[in-house]
Structure 1
Amino acid sequence: MVVLPDKLLVKVMVLSMVATTGFSRVKREEDAQQSYPEGENEIEPLIIDRGPYFDKSVSKNVTALVGKTAYLGCRIRNLGNRTVSWIRHRDLHLLTVNRFTYTSDQRFSARHNPQTEDWTLQVRYPQKRDAGVYECQVGTTPPIGISMYLSVVEPVTTLLGGPEMYIHKWSTMNLTCIIKHSPEPPPSIYWTHDQQFPNTENEWMEFGKVFEQRWNFPNCGGAIDRKHIRIKCPPKSGSYYYNYKHFLVSY
């Protein structure tokens, strides 16, 4: 058993106190003239700058539709005056540096608001070949970066019970269209008959009459049974705008 001298123990205790309290250096000579409360240590805390780092809650994988603009984002804390670059891993191609585009493919561009810590890579008219890993990189030594995956999909439609269905003449038939690989609801859905779509006003009017006879709802060519919105009906409209869920609705 080794017995430490008393003076050495005192020095060890002082160093331990400095390490645990976060104090790191003695005050400068010009600070010596200032008065401090009795018992306060004559040393200043050291503020450590951890440098840039990523807010990982922002950088997520993205799924985009073919032809619809995609956005990849990263949020960088404590960036300072370092540069921010976007790199495509497939060919290690440098796409942007800060807000400047470094690729000949002008579909890629960087977005940044100086009031925020967010940096965004915009990909216009994405195609399936654009899918892959992209990296948001900060120009530190060595560089640091965070990667995310861009998926580019094209919706696929199938007809439930199709492709051929047989029914009795004059009977009612319900057709259900299923859309797969769509990250968001499509802006519009079109039904055609024999690959034909109404082109003239008369054809549209005839199309609307068939829907009105079937569903008692005028000036409409189709409906999605999902969300019902109450509207103010025209006066003396009778049973118009009235559906089986007892709503006066507009789709």
Structure 2
Amino acid sequence: MRKPRSNLSTMAGLGVVLLVGIIGGLVGPARAQRTPTISYITQEQIKDIGGTVELECSVLYASDYSVHWVKTSNDRSDTVFLSTGSSLVLKDSRFSLRYDLSSTSYTLQIKDIQETDAGIYQCQVVLSVTNKISAEVALNVRRPPIISDNSTQSLVVSEGQPAQMECYASGYPVPQITWRRENNAILPTV
């Protein structure tokens, strides 16, 4: 006849299983909070006036946080709040916002681009009032070169005397200025 086993080891094992079961029930469904990140942002864009651009920002672990698009002027003097979450707050029909739940990406589209649309576009994940994660993309708008009225229009000098002519031009990309003589020979520039 076999000697009966002690129930202590069996009960101890059961106790561990019960304890793990209780703790697992409390902790199991809860997810560890991960820090939100911006996993992708569109690279710098150079577009023509009248064109269209799409700026994409993909985020991870940000479902409990607000995601914004904000535009800042190139000199950082002016800031415009464009969107919050999947809602556009800017009242300009040229702008639209698309949110893709499967890729958690926020795509800002600008149609009929104007020179004033140039600037720094920031995608922000707001963690608290004083803390945010952000990534930015520059939008540059091509502008045709314009020669300024204060450039030298005409100049009369005596033969053999030095002459100084000035040309001021603006545009994007910054225009390269070259001087040519009547015979189309390129002159040196200072």
TM-score, normalization: structure 2? 0.54
Instruction: Indicate if the aligned counterparts of 1:96 and 1:109 stay in contact, CA closer than 8 A.
Output: no
Q: Using the alignment, how far apart are the partners of 2:33 and 2:143 within structure 1?
A: 46
Please tell me whether residue 99 in structure 1 is matched to residue 83 in structure 2: no
Identity %: 25
Q: Using the alignment, how far apart are the partners of 1:119 and 1:81 within structure 2?
A: 15
**125, 142, 155: which one pairs with 2:112?**
125
Q: Using the alignment, how far apart are the partners of 2:123 and 2:102 within structure 1?
A: 19
Unaligned runs of 5+ in 2: 1-13, 21-26, 146-171, 174-190
Partner in structure 2 of residue 151 of structure 1: 140
Look up the SS of the partner of 2:50 in the other structure. Answer: coil
Q: Using the alignment, how far apart are the partners of 2:143 and 2:72 within structure 1?
A: 22
Please tell me whether residue 70 in structure 1 is matched to residue 53 in structure 2: yes
1:54-109 CA-to-partner distances (Å, cap 9, x unmatched) read: 114x4311112211111111110111132211111122211111222212222222
Runs (4 or more) in structure 1 with deviation over 2 Å come to 30-36, 47-50
Q: Which has the larger radius of gyration?
A: 1
Instruction: Indicate if the aligned counterparts of 2:36 and 2:62 stay in contact, CA closer than 8 A.
Output: yes
Q: Using the alignment, how far apart are the partners of 1:110 and 1:31 within structure 2?
A: 55
Q: Which amino acid aligns with 1:82?
A: Y
Q: Which amino acid aligns with 2:38?
A: F
Change in 2 beyond 3 A, CA 1:144/1:31: farther
1:143-163 CA-to-partner distances (Å, cap 9, x unmatched) read: 22111100111467xxxxxxx
Q: Using the alignment, how far apart are the partners of 2:57 and 2:15 within structure 1?
A: 43
Bigger RCO (CA 8 Å, 6+ sep): 2
Unaligned runs of 5+ in 1: 1-29, 37-43, 157-180, 183-251
Partner in structure 1 of residue 103 of structure 2: 116
Look up the SS of the partner of 1:129 in the other structure. Answer: helix
Q: Using the alignment, how far apart are the partners of 2:35 and 2:101 within structure 1?
A: 18
Report 1:1-251 matches (<5 A).
32-33=16-17, 48-56=32-40, 58-90=41-73, 91-141=78-128, 142-154=131-143
RMSD: 3.2
Aligned pairs, number: 121
TM-score, normalization: structure 1? 0.42
Q: Which amino acid aligns with 1:134?
A: Y
Q: Using the alignment, how far apart are the partners of 1:49 and 1:100 within structure 2?
A: 25
Look up the SS of the partner of 1:67 in the other structure. Answer: coil
C-alpha displacement at 1:112, in angstroms?
A: 1.1
Change in 2 beyond 3 A, CA 1:85/1:31: farther
Q: Which amino acid aligns with 1:144?
A: I
Look up the SS of the partner of 2:127 in the other structure. Answer: coil
